[in-house]
Amino acid sequence: MKKVLIINGHPDKESYNFALSQSYKEGALDSTNKVKEIHIRDLDFNPNLGFGYRKRTELEPDLLDAQEKLKWADHIVWIYPVWWGSYPAIMKGFLDRVFLPGFAFKKIENSLFSKKLLKGKTARIICTLDQPGWFYKLMYNSPSHNAMKRLTLNYIGIRKVKITTIGPLRLSKEKYRLKWLRRVEGLGKSLT
């Protein structure tokens, strides 16, 4: 049994990404996993890091709760749309404000490297596109995948990251959307 945290980075509650998050949750619960959720759009926080790391800004209660959920989780599922080659601004603000030094990593004095503080966790990225995944990879080298997997999750110690790309979403027929929901539910069920 795993402790699963599902993080939905889409700012619209009625989005297909919300439906994907619920499908993953159903699958994970069917496999007797424990599940918690964060819907970034519902959090009350300032997404601006303001002073960078020069001066600490107090975290809002919703962000403190998010950090507790991240510590609790064995497996973290990130669900978001790819807009302009990356994730939505609200998700970037969430990452900036939550993955702080002392929580997600610790700078090593006189070194370019950092100590990774969230080791031992696994992750899955599920992102939606308005183009086929193969085109996104071939033409653009999957910038949001690279930013999330390599530059964010790997940097803080989450090494085992799997990626699921869904698209093209905008022009898709209902039968494909239902198929993708079943596929994502299956990903949740396959957790052991």
Of 39, 8, 2, 5, nearest in space to 127 by CA: 8
Structure tokens belonging to residue 62: 């919703």
Q: What pLDDT does 36 receive? A: 99
Tell me which CATH code domain 3-189 carries.
3.40.50.360
> Which residues, listed in sequence order, are joined to residue 107 by a DSSP beta bridge?
114
For residue 87, name the pLDDT band (cuts at 50, 70, 90): very high
Average pLDDT, the chain: 97
**pLDDT band at residue 192, thresholds of 50, 70 and 90?**
confident
Stretch 42-48: mean pLDDT = 98
Q: How far apart are CA 91 and CA 106, in angstroms?
A: 22
Backbone angles phi, psi at 146, to 5 degrees: -65, -45
Q: Average pLDDT, stretch 169-174? A: 95
**Residues 36-42: what's their mean pLDDT?**
99
The pLDDT tens digits for 104-149 are 999 999 999 999 999 999 999 999 999 999 999 999 999 999 999 9
Position 56 scores a pLDDT of 87
- Residue 18: both structure tokens together: 């919300």
Asked if the model's pLDDT at residue 59 lies above 80, the reply is: yes
Across the range 174-179, mean pLDDT stands at 98
H-only helix segments in the chain: 16-30, 61-72, 89-98, 133-140, 143-146, 174-189
